[in-house]
Amino acid sequence: MNGTSMTGRTVLVTGGTGGIGRATALGLARMGARVAIVGRYRDRTEGVAREIRVAGGGEVEAFAADLSSMAEVRRLAGEALERLSRIDVLVNNAGGQWATRHVTVDGLERTFALNHLAPFLLTNLLLNRLRQSAPARVVTVSSNAHLMGRIDFDDLQGERSFDGGRAYSQSKLANVLFTYELARRLRTTSVTANALHPGVVSTAFGGEDPGGVQRWLVPVWRPFMKSPARGAVTSIHLAYAPELEGVTGRFFAAGKPRRSARSSYDEEAAARLWRVSAELTGLSGGSGGADDEAAARGGGQ
């Protein structure tokens, strides 16, 4: 990817209807990219797509999917493969945090399902298209909360003990472990994978089931938080910056590479997390092969 223009490139952004995701999509649209946004509700997603089209110019596609459902992730991947002839950048931005334990339609803990399993599955189902579009990039929005995370392989779903903050930190560490393992698996290709911390951004994040931090501290901190546009700067940078072509397996904050948590460099844990994630999502090939893409096109199982 040369130059600062994204003309001719297609970017798929999950969680693109608000906050950092919407700002990321708008910023890339203004750079000339064909942008595809994913939101949970069709009417709202189509409305935001129209707004970005007007404000940013260019072509903006809308995809609706509840990414906490693995069947919905598979349906989204199938629709994306049908409608997008190329995918130059995948921005895994969607995420959430809940104070109490919620279970998805698949019987999975919602934080782990939405924040980790959804980008894991979606990325794998789109990998062949990313390879075909190479040089291509996978950008995953993590958080500095990963520094406090621990992957509890004995209780990934928080069935024995649940704490919303702990579940969120675990999922954000999983984002980084996934990114590094993906980069290792793609090292012989022209597809890169990087993760990032967007900063502390003023959005509606966590408002659906707020804990004490969201209820009491966020209103106090809000005047000092970044705007969504500022929070999207690093995502946009990783999506287009020419100097990052070929840079992979890194963690960024404020647009610069940073050291992530020591535990995020545990290759054995990353490989184990990959295997467990493949089992939980029913990923047949485990690495975005033809069987997985065919399943996505067919709507999955």
Active site residues: 168
C-alpha–C-alpha distance, residues 170 and 95, integer Å:
13
DSSP characters for 55-122? HH-S-EEEEE--TTSHHHHHHHHHHHHHH-S--SEEEE------SS--B-TTS-BHHHIIIIIHHHHH
Pairing outcome for strands 89-92 and 136-141? parallel
Distances (CA, A) of 32 to 13, 25, 47, 64, 262: 15, 11, 20, 23, 38
Whether residue 296 contacts residue 74, with contact meaning beta carbons closer than 8 Å, is answered with yes
Q: Which two tokens stand for residue 297?
A: 């096109």
Residue corresponding to tokens 């990039």: 137
